Chain A
Amino acid sequence: MSKESTYIPKSGFSKWFDQRLPLPRMLHDNINAFPTPRNLNYWYTFGGILTFCLVTQIVTGIVLAMHYTADAGLAFASVEHIMRNVNYGWLIRYIHAVGASMFFLAVYVHIFRGLYYGSYKAPREILWILGVVIYLLMVITAFMGYVLPWGQMSFWGATVITNLFSVIPVVGTTITEWLWGGFAVDNATLKRFFSLHYLMPFMIFGVVILHIWSLHVTGNNNPVGVSVKEKQDTVPFAPYYTVKDAFSLVCFLILFAWFIFFNPNILGHTDNYIMADPLVTPAHIVPEWYLLPFYAILRAIPSKLGGVLVMGAAIAILFILPWLDTSKVRSATFRPLYKQFYWIFVVNCIALGYLGSQNPEGLFLVASRICTAYYFIHFLLVLPILGLVEKPKPIPESITKAVLEKMEIRNMKEKSAEA
């Protein structure tokens, strides 16, 4: 953080400690006292929720790894052993499996929040890019984790995804066989996936630290998208946002708990309770729900190499988003046209998710192609052009002004309602 420190050591010991390792000072300045815009809404609580999710996955994952066996002959049985024999094994596994879905739910809210309020724009480009890196690492981690129970979906999902690398010209097959450690997905593949599935969350943790560091250099964006100008635009993080984040987290946990205790398997696929069989492909291979939009894009393109490239581009385009959007106005609140296109884009993404779960034939295929095309049109045409033609609404002078104005309007409405 570039602001001055407000940490005052209280005891002799903390003073002594501060001169040797100013860790409490760093935590105080970055958590307790961190000046945060006073107008953040609940969409801004998902960063805290995401941190909670990461810690949850790491804790439950380490416990699962104590009982799990990474061997093609034993893995499936060891997961059943966790479910039936290990004390609270069912609970820990369901927290981990549902937790992956909740993690993605939270990250999608977080990303779409950023898209709505223009959080990717200067000076937060690096912050945004680090976020996309985290998302990418999450996708890889979850994919490898899903292989570990060694059910039919595990096996065939792994087969389809690793085969994506075989489209690379000339060296494709060599790379795929290198990834497999054989001539098909097999024991060697399972073992390396387990090793990497254990490693990657800690890499994510590292990038999260960079992400938050960058956040604390630029400061939070906020719903009106106007930069912080004076002290009264902000409040200290504690207690204002610790409380808001905690409340939001509790609501999130209610949903989380509902899945764990009432419907733990609804987000998964029943075929994954059948042990992997290399000779039989399930009639209908689908990835977990959070990857369906990309699966729809992959299958919308009638060429193998093309499908893989376009799917890669769908994520890659997020990296250059800060330079595709030509509008200087951050928040969609003051961009009447962007606001509408934003919601079309949201619906388009949900539609892609639905199409990813359907057989790629007939009308579904046509629809996937249209939606895939629109996904790119949004980034490559709509965003650059909107910034040039759109006339933004008047932008408030400051965060405080915007907040006070909103309160005034509310007061006036209440008064007229009374009258």
Chain B
Amino acid sequence: MSDKDPKQPSRRDFIFLATGAFAAVGAASIAWPIVDQMNPDATALALSKIEVDISQLERGQAITVKWRGKPVFIRRRTEEEIQMASRVDIDSLPDNNARNYNLSPDSAASDENRSLDENGEWLVMVGVCTHLGCVPKGQSLGDSKGDFGGWYCPCHGSHYDTAGRIRKGPAAKNLDIPAAEFINQNVIRIG
């Protein structure tokens, strides 16, 4: 390196670049904490598991519980509701992924893959519309259940069927199924 030859990079160029690079790395390393502080903090992340007693639930009834700040729908379906959901051709669904955390991510959206137990009686889903996050109607007896007898989101008109799959409206995905299991006959653990 020679300071004389104007075509060659000089020592000064080198110092200039090195200083610039150093400042850029420094700025980035302080920017990240400022960005990351907004991410869910330790209390939000603390693995929350809840246990729900479902022994009082008759067929055709549903309850809503709160998990990680969100509603979770637990529904004990009637034979008719199961029939309605299993008759559907999966390929005709807007979203043919099961969206079930307990299964592999590419499972098909069949009714068996959506329900928690072998008989298909129990449906456990995050009660958050996959459009823009409203809580769909359909848990209470008097609620409008939409065109497919499951849930209806009044915010922008999404219709879910009796397996919580999106059938009509702006939402693109089926209702999410969280990690859930029966720890005994009467208790479901979510999370």
Contacts and interface: CB of A to CB of B under 8 A. Distances in A.
Interface of A: 156, 159-164, 166, 177-184, 186, 188, 192, 278-281, 283-285, 298-299, 301-305, 307, 359-361, 365
B131 A183 contact: no
B8 interface: no
Contacts of B137: 281
B103 to A, nearest CB: 19
Contacts of B41: 181-182, 188
Given A163-B132, A299-B170, A304-B171, A281 B40 contact: no
Interface in B123-180: 128, 131-137, 154-157, 169-172
B59 interface: no
Given A181-B39, A359-B154, A160 B66 contact: no
Contact of B154 (A159, A163, A283): A283
A281 B154 contact: yes
A314 to B, nearest CB: 17
Interface residues of B, number: 28
B44 A188 contact: yes
B98 to A, nearest CB: 18
Contacts of B172: 303-305
Contacts of A182: 40-41, 44, 68-69
B191 to A, nearest CB: 11
Given A159-B134, A184-B69, 17 more contacts: A156-B134, A159-B133, A160-B134, A161-B132, A178-B38, A180-B40, A181-B39, A183-B44, A183-B68, A188-B41, A278-B69, A283-B154, A284-B154, A298-B156, A302-B170, A304-B132, A307-B170
A279 B40 contact: no
A160 B69 contact: no
A279 B155 CA distance: 14
19 contacts: A156-B134, A156-B155, A159-B132, A162-B133, A166-B133, A181-B38, A183-B40, A184-B68, A278-B70, A278-B71, A279-B71, A281-B137, A281-B154, A285-B134, A303-B172, A304-B170, A359-B154, A360-B156, A365-B157
Contacts, number: 91
B64 interface: yes
Query: Across chains A and B, which 8 residue pairs bring their CB atoms closest together, nearest first?
Result: A184-B69, A163-B133, A163-B132, A182-B44, A160-B132, A281-B135, A281-B134, A159-B133
A409 B77 CA distance: 80
A303 B170 contact: yes
Interface string B26-69: 00000000010011110010000000000000000000101011
B134 A183 contact: no
A183 B170 contact: no
B179 to A, nearest CB: 13
A179 B170 contact: no
A360 B69 contact: no
